[in-house]
Structure 1
Amino acid sequence: MYTTKGLDDYEYEVFKSFSRKLSPTTKHDYLSKITLFKEFLENKELVYVTKHDCKKFIDYIKEKYAKSTCEKIYSYLHSFYNFLMKEEYIEINPFRYVEKPAVTRIKTKDDVLSIQEINKLIDVLHKLNIRDRVIIVFLITTGCLLNELVNLKWKDIMVDEKDNYYTKLGKGRKERIVKLHPYCFKLIEDYRDYSGLEEIITPSEDFVFTTQKSNSITDRNVRLIVSKALSLAGLSQYSAKDFRHSFAAIALRLGAEEEDIKNQLGWSDKYYAIRYKYVLNFVDSESVDYLANNENLKINEK
């Protein structure tokens, strides 16, 4: 529909001014969204867009991306054009006339695996290699984000004097220590043995999950691993992000406090739990302990 065209030199200088206080990751994210818009516009400069251009673009992305992604793209562009208006490059933000893509934060059954479905997934773990088994069980039992798993290092895994296992997840304000499920740690030990590493975990900067060609793994690698596991279990309707939602919903259903879930998942507010109020009936009658002590979960038989 459109030809690929990045920002011109002048526009990029403006963007650098806009993004000077952003982190490198956020800056890159903003640039990709603004460049996407620029490509859609073909030869038109960013400062000359109209509300009709903006509306056509939002309609276009609605057909290609998930609602949450569309909302993010809209928010980024709205913020960028507010900057242009504030700095007097333009008189009016054209995105103010475009309806923001609406995304409900309430989770439905489509976002959450039931205990029976998780058991089906556990039943096919033997068909995966040891690294991939660890990845699946780690996601299921910690509710971590994909980037947290990808960036996990051996220094982040700990054992206390009572043989409880823990891992450090997140960064900055979202950094937290969470308890590991015993079976998850057993698989980690098997993975170390298979990889030729020493039995005792010593703190190091090495990444836990690697590939044959790299000393680290990518989000895309993990999504492919999850997709394969879900397909083997006959659960292709789900995706990697649904493990996090499932952890929250099941732990809440089994009695975990909202504050516990907040601490486990790194939420900024415990009231995020309200998003799961409509799915608690679908998931069967310190967060990971609620999973570890539930007799209906096959993972606890491992």
Structure 2
Amino acid sequence: MDTPIVSRRLPENINRIVSKFPEEVQEFFLEMISADRSLQTIANYAYDFALFFDFLQSRNKTIEQVDPILIKRFFRYIENGYERSVYVKLTKVDPQTGEKREEWIERKHFRENSRSGKQRKRASLRSLFRYLVKTHVLDRDPMEEYEDATLRSRSRQKVPVFLTREEALRLIQAISTYHEKKKRKNWLEARDLAIILMLLNTGMRVSELINLNINSIQTDGDLIRVMIIGKGGKERILKLNNKTVEALQEYLKQRPTPHDTKHQDALFLNKNLGRISRKAVSEVVKKYVREANLPPKAAAISPHKLRHTLATLLLANGENLRVVQEILGHSSIQTTQIYTHVINTEKDQALDRLEKLI
């Protein structure tokens, strides 16, 4: 069966999810598209709402019947984790005729409900109900009433996890040692080195990396820069250092030509020659973290933690906070200030002085 179309600007799998929502909720997604929200943000909202509407359906409730008590029960329901449905398109071949047929299947994944995940779901529902009140679908905002009656969780500012300079170098070295062990050097090694160096030396988000095209790399004399489209469609252009440029040029020399024309412009490809996904980039990082045998703290490194690594190394090197904010593409400098807690050398000096006393 063909994928129901809510908007041609949405991927097929997200269209399938959004098409199941009430029409007024589909309108909310069309508003998000008009406001140039990123596809990743829209996808996150779709997954959050799918979870919420599945819950409503299990209670035989409609969106008009939602009240603060029902919202509270929803958050209690997903408190310790939940199953999330995703749609995957598979190509099946008829063993007799050899005819290829595409088929959508639904897969369920259990997910932990992290603190950031809880915050995002609250923000998603908050945006939806505000929109429904503003468009006169609802008379009141049940999410607002729910939050007014809810105890605020304690604000705990977690120190970002990051790699030290030595650990970052070990991660880079692990790429060549991994492929030497496998005895199969190919274009994927060049790609992985370019990806790791790009993340470490620009601090770009994974969503920004996977959306890079070949023409995102710009040459200006001897300088090579990358144009990044960040959150809200904001552009920033960053200079690439020599090691990253060399790795990128080597990868582009070896990069195969995709069979599908819609992937020909993609800078980074997966092993099937399509545009690389967030999950694939995450697997790339995890593979070399294991190979580098990094300590327990560093072993939890993800692509986003490499962004933390760049921020921390820049600030530790005495770079201006505003400059780091521009490099990372933070809309607020308060977000960048999180990293100053990590490199506060006065704490280290105070503990060093303590050594003389005890």
- The residue matched to 2:267 in structure 1 has which SS? coil
User: Is the CA contact (8 Å cut-off) linking 2:68 and 2:142 kept in structure 1?
Assistant: yes
User: Is the CA contact (8 Å cut-off) linking 2:18 and 2:26 kept in structure 1?
Assistant: no
Matched with 1:122 is 172
Q: What is the root-mean-square deviation of aligned Cα atoms in Å?
A: 2.9
Q: How far does residue 30 in structure 1 lie from its aligned partner after superposition?
A: 2.8
One-letter amino acid of the structure 1 residue matched with residue 269 of structure 2? T
> 2: CA distance between counterparts of 1:222 and 1:196?
18
Aligned counterpart for 1:221 among listed residues 259, 265, 280? 280
User: Is the CA contact (8 Å cut-off) linking 1:68 and 1:103 kept in structure 2?
Assistant: no
Deviations 1:52-82 (A, max 9, x none): 2211222333422221121111111122223
User: Is the CA contact (8 Å cut-off) linking 1:130 and 1:187 kept in structure 2?
Assistant: yes
2:23 paired with 1:21:
no
Matched with 2:270 is 211
- The residue matched to 2:204 in structure 1 has which SS? coil
Gap change, CA 1:115 and 1:281, over 3 Å in 2: farther
Deviations 1:134-161 (A, max 9, x none): 1111111110011111111121212332
Q: How far does residue 104 in structure 1 lie from its aligned partner after superposition?
A: 5.6
Structure scoring higher RCO (CA < 8 A, sep ≥ 6) equals: 1
* TM-score of the two chains, using structure 1 as the length reference: 0.78
Aligned counterpart for 1:269 among listed residues 329, 332, 336? 332
Gap change, CA 1:107 and 1:115, over 3 Å in 2: farther
> 2: CA distance between counterparts of 1:101 and 1:38?
25
One-letter amino acid of the structure 2 residue matched with residue 61 of structure 1? I
User: Is the CA contact (8 Å cut-off) linking 1:106 and 1:276 kept in structure 2?
Assistant: no
Aligned counterpart for 1:85 among listed residues 108, 111, 133? 133
User: Is the CA contact (8 Å cut-off) linking 2:212 and 2:267 kept in structure 1?
Assistant: yes
User: Is the CA contact (8 Å cut-off) linking 2:28 and 2:128 kept in structure 1?
Assistant: yes
* TM-score of the two chains, using structure 2 as the length reference: 0.67
2:107 paired with 1:57:
no
Deviations 1:149-190 (A, max 9, x none): 1111121212332x2221111156521110112111111122
Give unmatched runs, 5+ long, in structure 1: 1-5, 198-203, 286-302
Gap change, CA 1:100 and 1:227, over 3 Å in 2: farther
Aligned counterpart for 1:47 among listed residues 33, 39, 64? 64
Matched with 1:108 is 159
Give unmatched runs, 5+ long, in structure 2: 1-16, 82-112, 180-188, 258-262, 349-358
> 1: CA distance between counterparts of 2:118 and 2:235?
28
2:342 paired with 1:279:
yes
Matched with 1:37 is 52
- In percent, how many aligned pairs have the same letter? 26
Deviations 1:110-145 (A, max 9, x none): x22222321221231212522111111111111001
Q: Which has the higher strand share?
A: 2
User: Is the CA contact (8 Å cut-off) linking 1:19 and 1:27 kept in structure 2?
Assistant: yes
Which stretch of the first structure deviates more once superposed, 114-123 or 204-213?
204-213
Matched with 2:119 is 71
User: Is the CA contact (8 Å cut-off) linking 1:167 and 1:177 kept in structure 2?
Assistant: yes
- The residue matched to 2:226 in structure 1 has which SS? strand
> 2: CA distance between counterparts of 1:106 and 1:14?
37
Gap change, CA 1:178 and 1:103, over 3 Å in 2: farther
Over alpha carbons, which structure has the higher Rg? Answer: 2
Which stretch of the first structure deviates more once superposed, 84-93 or 231-240?
84-93
- The residue matched to 2:126 in structure 1 has which SS? helix
Deviations 1:74-101 (A, max 9, x none): 1111222233334454443222224487
